[in-house]
């Protein structure tokens, strides 16, 4: 693609105390691309995600999101408003209803009026398939429903990029499909997505590119087909043999 990448990570290093979580990671993501990151636990895939929206600071290297250098941004909150994030444990605000969860950041960050924010919220709830749960509290929702509300909450900010940190790993099997369907729709609509996930079905259906990480480094990058059928590195083959049936 001849366009400019919307996310550029160059030689990023990140330490947590003695642990070298990211060792010189360089990644580029183009607008509209769906990139799936996989790898064993501790490989740094979640850390990668958290560095993109500066929830973790980096020790060296550059990260540029939508043209703005993230580690030296004047107003990091503005950058974060353009990058939506969906977490493994949903992280819905338990003291607010589903609707209020989706409306809060719209009013407080985007300064939208209550009525507009609510309308957008209800539309999004319908889009993710649970319009009737608008006035339910998170504790009254199933895991799959909570995650869909979380996706709606992130989408309400109309971000340019959506980050997903193992969105279905904490869900019961029957609920995984409903969340993946929402993510598939999003991918088809052209949203730029970076997804950390083990869901191969989703990767094959939606990913433009897959990145395999191990031990803080990018080991291999390829299209889903190439990665499955023709993995280049031993570590990739080893990992795939463990997770594929």
Partner 1 sequence: MAIPWENIPWWGIIILIVGVIVGYSVLTNSYYLDALYFIFDLPWNKQALGKSDVGENGGWVVTARPALRAGTYTLYGAYLDESEEIVGRSDVYTIAVPRGAPEVEVEPITTPSDTSVQVQTTTPTIAGIAPEGVDSVVLYDDFSSQPLRIARRMWIARGVFLTIRVTLLSFVGAMVLGLIFGLMRVSSRSPDLTINLGWRLLAGLGVIILILVVVPEWRNLTSALLVAVVVEALMFLLPAMPYTISTLYVEVVRGVPMLVIILYMGFAVTPALRNASEGQVDLQGLPAAIIALSFGYGAYLAEVYRAGIESIPKGQTEAARSLGMSYFQSMRYVILPQAIRVVMPPLGNDFIAMLKDSSLISVIALPEVLQSGRLWISRNFRAFEGFNSVALVYLVMTLLLSLLVRFIERKSALPGR
Q: Smaller CB distance to partner 1: residue 108 or 126?
A: 108
In SS3 terms, 111-180 reads as CCCHHHHHHHHHHHHHHCCCHHHCCCCHHHCCHHHHHHHHHHHHHCCCCCEEEEECCCCCCCHHHHHHHH
Q: Smaller CB distance to partner 1: residue 41 or 229?
A: 41
Q: Does 60 bind partner 1 (CB under 8 A)?
A: no
Q: Smaller CB distance to partner 1: residue 153 or 235?
A: 153
For residues 131 and 66, give the distance between their C-alpha atoms in angstroms, rounded to a whole number. Answer: 32
Size of the site for partner 1 (CB under 8 A): 30
Q: Does 21 bind partner 1 (CB under 8 A)?
A: no
Taking residue 190's Cβ as centre, other Cβ atoms within 10 Å add up to 11
Q: Does 153 bind partner 1 (CB under 8 A)?
A: yes
For residues 117 and 156, give the distance between their C-alpha atoms in angstroms, rounded to a whole number. Answer: 8
For residues 7 and 42, give the distance between their C-alpha atoms in angstroms, rounded to a whole number. Answer: 23
Q: Closest separation between CB of residue 98 and partner 1, Å?
A: 12
**Percent helix, percent strand, percent coil in the chain, to nearest 5:** 40, 25, 35
Q: Smaller CB distance to partner 1: residue 149 or 218?
A: 149
Q: Does 108 bind partner 1 (CB under 8 A)?
A: yes
Residue list 64-93, contact with partner 1 (CB under 8 A): 77-78, 80-85, 87, 89, 91-93
Q: To which residue do tokens 């994030």 refer?
A: 85
Q: Closest separation between CB of residue 175 and partner 1, Å?
A: 18
Q: Of 3, 17, 74, 94, which lies in the binding site for partner 1, with binding defined by CB under 8 A?
A: 94
Note every long-range contact of 222-230, with CB atoms under 8 Å and residues 24 or more positions apart, other chains counting: 224/36, 228/200, 228/204
* Contacts of 17 by beta carbon, 8 Å cutoff, 6+ apart: none
Q: Closest separation between CB of residue 118 and partner 1, Å?
A: 16
Q: Does 179 bind partner 1 (CB under 8 A)?
A: no
- Give the interface with partner 1 as residue ranges (CB under 8 A): 50, 53, 55, 77-78, 80-85, 87, 89, 91-95, 104-105, 108-110, 137, 139-140, 150, 153-154, 157
């Amino acid at each position: 693609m001849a366009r400019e990448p919307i996310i550029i990570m160059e030689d990023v290093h990140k330490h947590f105390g003695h642990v070298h979580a990211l060792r010189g990671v360089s990644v580029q993501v183009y607008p509209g691309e769906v990139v799936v990151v996989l790898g064993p636990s501790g490989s740094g895939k979640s850390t990668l995600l958290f560095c993109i929206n500066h929830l973790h600071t980096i020790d060296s290297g550059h990260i540029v999101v939508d043209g703005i250098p993230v580690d030296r941004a004047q107003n990091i909150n503005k950058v974060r408003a353009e990058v939506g994030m969906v977490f493994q444990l949903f992280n819905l605000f338990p003291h607010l209803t589903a609707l209020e969860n989706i409306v809060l950041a719209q009013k407080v960050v985007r300064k939208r009026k209550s009525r507009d924010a609510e309308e957008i919220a209800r539309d999004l709830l319908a889009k993710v398939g649970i319009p009737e749960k608008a006035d339910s509290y998170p504790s009254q929702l199933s895991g799959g429903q909570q995650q869909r509300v979380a996706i709606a909450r992130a989408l309400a900010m109309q971000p340019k990029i959506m980050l997903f940190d193992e969105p279905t790993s904490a869900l019961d099997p029957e609920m995984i499909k409903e969340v993946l369907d929402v993510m598939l729709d999003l991918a088809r609509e052209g949203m730029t997505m970076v997804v950390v996930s083990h869901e191969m079905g989703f990767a094959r259906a939606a990913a433009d590119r897959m990145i395999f990480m191990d031990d803080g480094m990018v080991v291999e990058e390829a299209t889903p087909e190439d990665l499955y059928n023709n993995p280049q590195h031993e570590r990739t083959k080893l990992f795939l043999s463990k997770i594929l049936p």
